[in-house]
A and B are shown apart, each in its own frame.
Chain A
Amino acid sequence: MNIYVVMKRTFDTEEKVEINDGIIDEEGAEFVINPYDEYAIEEAIVLKEAHGGEITVVTVGNEDAEKELRTALAMGADQAVLLDTEDLDGEIDHYTISEMLSAFFQDKEYDIILGGNVAVDDGAGQVAPRLAEKLEINQLTTITKLDIDGESAYIERDVEGDVEIVEANLPLLVTCQQGLNEPRYPSLPGIMKAKKKPLETLDLDDLDLDEDDLEAKTRTVDRFLPPEKDAGKRLEGEPHEQVQELMSLLKNEAKVI
């Protein structure tokens, strides 16, 4: 089975993130594999364990992403590919990234491509669906269960808290949702072996792309952190007094009713 994972390196949103003049301070940030993409990597490994085959992890980014690619290799992927954005001067958005990915996949044979449901940094969930559209293959997002039998896949999807059961044919692109699996830790022998596994870097020339083809379709105007929450207000007194006060606060202060 030819298994591909599209992965993003993001800053760790559980750590402190600082923004200066609309730009995220990369010096202070911790970087990780996008947590949803970890589900994708884990599922790829599970598929390989069940059906055999080869796992290739692909990312679009710069050389800093090599650490996350190596981590994916340490978890159990067989090879990694970095689609290097070094030649791109302008802004990079979901369009740019999905164009680069689809250029990469043009001459590839794949049975399944797995990605994360969304990236935790921008939460857009655009790249994988765009890629499936470009490649003109089936796609199913937010999956929580995956069984493959021959050419067909049995899938459960999370639809706003309910479950939808779908069958689809390969080749297929899926995006992975929490609940699909429990990503493994890369083992130590895995980490040591990862450095010997192939990691290929492809630039725009290799992908037969021109900078002009990749111009972002969106422009980031500003970035800012959510405003600090004020300390809450505790209502005192008997329940009926509290209700009275809450009513008046909602009316007069918050002006929501």
Chain B
Amino acid sequence: MDFELTREQRMIRDMVRDFAETEVAPIADEVDRNDRFPKETFEKMGSLGLLGLPISEKYGGAGADTISYALAVEEIGKACGGTGLSYAASVSLGAGPLANFGTEKQKETFLVPIAKGDTLGSFGLTEPNAGSDAGGTKTTAVLKGDRYVINGEKCWITNASYAQAVTITAVNGQKKNGKNIISAFIVPTDSPGFKITSPYEKMGVRGSNTTELVLNDVEVPKENILGDPDKGFGQFLHTLDGGRISIGALAVGIAEAAYQKALAYANERKQFGENIGKFQAIQFKLADMAMEIDLARTSVHKAAWLKDQNRPFKKEAAYAKLFSSEMATRVCNQALQIHGGYGYMREFGIERMLRDTKLMEIGEGTSEIQRMVIAREIGCF
């Protein structure tokens, strides 16, 4: 048993922390206020190699491990939740399936530019009528000659406006038992009939690009199908497991930022002639926050470690995502409470963290879905 980070992991964490403090944190408020995707930040992240962090060197990445990736996401999230979400979505959801299931040619064409930071990764699963129940996907892909023709609609897809291609799930047949076969297709965003808009007014993660996709007779070459056409959607669940680790890490980062602000504030805000941090009621809140953040981080690192060891990590990834995201909402809420009326004001940045972190309980599988995953894993049938 060894809880020590390696020297490399520490170097990566320190570098990303430094980067996030100087380049990401100072614009977090402006990005949130203006609902603006900070393209310039992603260009800088690309040139530092951050967008290819866990991707193998063969495909233009840095070949770092999942723990390093979790550390990086945490640091970015600490500075700005929205930036953190787009980062995690590009690496885990965008690059992940291409790295795991892509053919050599698909990797060359679509993974390398993501790893190098020339474009962002994006994964389109959710539809207006198919969220938690991905099996309810309505988008269809029909093979005509040597091309698939795709029709359908996707909602709340992260990064698509800044992506060269989106990996999209669609029904492309029926199994013998009548159930739909769902496959994933790599769809270049400049394909005719592919419309990408960003019509949403979000509560939080407003720096993240969230899009609606409409596909109207969009044609892609047959070889753009990702993974084994017969295996269907099941093969991609592995990708979601990996993504959950990063959402856990992101939640830890946001919580850490809120906690640090609350601790500093408690030690300087005076009421009744004393720092409010002297009051046991406030101390106990802070003690709970510190403890919960540490436990959440440990759960994230454990899941990441299992993944790095090529061991099963589905249950631990769900633990990490579920506990960290719910923890972060509690922590941000209490951090706001410690700030009193100031916390309710935009200027103090805490209300943004609370708005940002709420998404972590919803995206990449809601808390309820995480509990279902865990229940299945521990043997409830």
Identify the A interface with B (CB < 8 A): 32, 66-67, 70-71, 74, 185-192, 194-195
Give the Cβ gap from B343 to chain A, nearest Cβ, in Å.
24
Give the Cβ gap from A9 to chain B, nearest Cβ, in Å.
13
- CB pair B7–A188 under 8 Å, yes or no, is no
B18 contacts A by Cβ under 8 Å? yes
Give the Cβ gap from B272 to chain A, nearest Cβ, in Å.
17
B52 contacts A by Cβ under 8 Å? yes
- CB pair A187–B7 under 8 Å, yes or no, is no
Give the Cβ gap from B282 to chain A, nearest Cβ, in Å.
21
- CB pair A185–B11 under 8 Å, yes or no, is no
5 tightest A-B contacts by CB? Answer: A188-B49, A188-B62, A189-B49, A187-B48, A187-B49
Selected contact of B15 from candidates A66, A186, A195, CB within 8 Å: A186
A191 to B64, CA, bound (A): 9
In the complex, the chain A residue whose C-beta lies closest to that of B44 is A185
Give the Cβ gap from A23 to chain B, nearest Cβ, in Å.
23
- CB pair A187–B8 under 8 Å, yes or no, is no
Selected contact of A185 from candidates B10, B15, B57, CB within 8 Å: B15
19 residue pairs A–B, Cβ–Cβ below 8 Å = A67-B7, A67-B11, A70-B7, A70-B8, A71-B11, A71-B14, A185-B15, A185-B19, A185-B48, A187-B48, A187-B49, A188-B48, A188-B50, A188-B53, A188-B62, A189-B62, A191-B64, A194-B11, A195-B8
- CB pair A191–B19 under 8 Å, yes or no, is no
Contacts of A187 in B (CB 8 A): 47-49
B63 contacts A by Cβ under 8 Å? yes
A71 to B7, CA, bound (A): 10
A47 to B19, CA, bound (A): 24
Selected contact of A191 from candidates B12, B18, B47, B57, CB within 8 Å: B12
Q: How many residue-residue contacts, CB under 8 A, span A and B?
A: 48
20 more CB-based (< 8 A) A-B contacts, given A188-B62, A189-B57, A191-B8: A32-B14, A67-B7, A67-B10, A70-B8, A71-B15, A74-B11, A74-B15, A185-B19, A187-B47, A188-B12, A188-B49, A188-B50, A188-B64, A189-B49, A191-B11, A191-B12, A191-B15, A192-B8, A192-B57, A192-B64
A191 to B54, CA, bound (A): 13
In the complex, the chain A residue whose C-beta lies closest to that of B6 is A195
Contacts of A67 in B (CB 8 A): 7, 10-11
Interface membership of chain B positions 55-66, coded 1 if the CB is closer than 8 angstroms to chain A and 0 otherwise: 001000011100
Contacts of B53 in A (CB 8 A): 188
Contacts of B49 in A (CB 8 A): 187-190
A71 to B10, CA, bound (A): 10
A71 to B15, CA, bound (A): 9
Contacts of B19 in A (CB 8 A): 185
- CB pair B7–A66 under 8 Å, yes or no, is yes
Contacts of B48 in A (CB 8 A): 185, 187-188
B49, B53, B57, B64: residue with the most chain A Cβ atoms closer than 10 Å: B49
In the complex, the chain B residue whose C-beta lies closest to that of A73 is B11
In the complex, the chain A residue whose C-beta lies closest to that of B22 is A185
Give the Cβ gap from B51 to chain A, nearest Cβ, in Å.
9
Contacts of B47 in A (CB 8 A): 187
- CB pair B62–A186 under 8 Å, yes or no, is no
Contacts of B10 in A (CB 8 A): 67
A71 to B11, CA, bound (A): 7
- CB pair A192–B15 under 8 Å, yes or no, is no
